[in-house]
Amino acid sequence: MTSIKEFQNLMHRLYFLRDSKRGVKTTIEWLKEEVDELYEAIRNDDKRGISEEFADVLAWLVSLANVLDVDLQEATLKKYAGNCPKCNSAPCKCPLK
Ligand SMILES: [Zn+2]
């Protein structure tokens, strides 16, 4: 199984030079574009598209973390250490919004 850290390292190896040249602003615009494409795939009940767009959203999220020098695995496991960070329960007992 690939960890978040291994996936982030892979994205770094594949794209960091291009991502860092592109910069934060353009990289986050690409992430937003991919989230929009995921939304459209879900609206159209496009099963294959949904799967591919999830992959693109994750890849761009990780690219953005690389450009900002954020360790996603460390950040994620620090915040989500087993219980919901807001209500401290598992499963979450926060009121639905
Ligand atoms: Zn909660």
- Domain membership flag for residue 84: no
Expressed in angstroms and rounded, the spacing between residue 69 Cα and the centre of ligand 1 is: 28
Q: For residue 1, what pLDDT band results from cuts at 50, 70 and 90?
A: low
Q: Which two tokens stand for residue 26?
A: 């353009």
- Domain membership flag for residue 41: yes
Expressed in angstroms and rounded, the spacing between residue 82 Cα and the centre of ligand 1 is: 11
Q: For residue 2, what pLDDT band results from cuts at 50, 70 and 90?
A: confident
* Residue-number span of the structural domain to which 32 is assigned: 4-79
Expressed in angstroms and rounded, the spacing between residue 59 Cα and the centre of ligand 1 is: 27
Closest C-alpha to 47, from 38, 56, 58, 57 = 38
The stretch 30-45 carries a mean pLDDT of: 98
Whether residue 94 contacts residue 84, with contact meaning beta carbons closer than 8 Å, is answered with yes
- DSSP 8-state class, residue 94: P
Q: Which two tokens stand for residue 70?
A: 């954020």
The domain that holds 31 is classified in CATH as 1.10.287.1080
- Domain membership flag for residue 20: yes
Quote the Cα angle for 47-50-55, to 5°: 135
pLDDT computed for residue 52 by the predictor: 98
Q: In the chain, how many domains are there? A: 1
Expressed in angstroms and rounded, the spacing between residue 80 Cα and the centre of ligand 1 is: 11
The stretch 21-37 carries a mean pLDDT of: 97
